[in-house]
Amino acid sequence: MTVSNQYARYPSLQDRPVLITGGASGIGAAMVEEFALQGSTVAFLDVATGPAEELMRSLDGRSAHQPLFVQCDVTDIDALQAAIHHVETRLGRIRVLVNNAANDDRHAVKDVTPEYWDNRMNVNLRHHFFTIQALSPGMKSAGGGSIINMSSIAWMIPSTGLPAYLTAKAAIVGLTRAMAHELGSSNIRVNSVLPGAILTERQQRLWWTPEYEEQIMGRQALKRYLVPSDVARTALFLASDDSSTITNQNLIVDGGWV
């Protein structure tokens, strides 16, 4: 197993159990890959088996520990809790949680029904709390841990055309601050990462138009594309002992947009 000399190696992440939600594609897949290449024992949850299996194949022979994939719909809290129990049975007490699962489908204000609103909260917010609730006792008994909640700069810009998603992503910052103080006495750190315009396959396929790219490059201080691994390497730092005094923070990874 090798990690590029261009980037940091974190000895504290070697063999450290990590759980990532929504890990089969996009930023989540980059998280799985980067933690695996650090030598962590990684588990990830996702509803999409095809991309998950493809990711597993891409890591075959490249990491000290083959990641564990568990198919799970994180909006089903009973299933989520069962998946977490299964992961802890296999890997031991989880020391790093990355709450990444989300869906940024666009929606017009006039079209949002109560049912759709509740669904967007379930997809983008509710599971953050319940994964923390389920995993924090184990983290405490293991001596501490790091929880990384994925928010977005989208609610800060602000964006339009997806108000329920923006509400959930803003609420994640509030949840992070609350849980950092709830869990700090147990040596559990809680931080948020707020990505900007990240060039994922989904973004390219659905929304990355020449006009949007022009807007991005006009707003960013750094005039380059941001890719999923840029975000994932930020999570590595927050998960490692190098950041052992950092909690209750919101780390923006946007090339200087906001």
Rounded CA separation 142/130 (Å):
19
Interior CA angle at 156 toward 154 and 159, to 5°? 45
Catalytic: which of 10, 116, 165, 212? 165
Q: In this structure, are residues 16 and 41 in contact, taking their beta carbons and an 8 Å threshold?
A: yes
Q: In this structure, are residues 68 and 91 in contact, taking their beta carbons and an 8 Å threshold?
A: yes
Task: Using alpha carbons, select from 192, 147, 191, 152 the residue that is nearest to residue 168.
Answer: 152
- The verdict on whether 165 is a catalytic residue reads yes
Cis before 158? omega within 30: yes
> DSSP class of residue 197?
S
Rounded CA separation 97/76 (Å):
18
Task: Using alpha carbons, select from 44, 38, 37, 50 the residue that is nearest to residue 23.
Answer: 44
So which residues are the catalytic ones?
A: 165
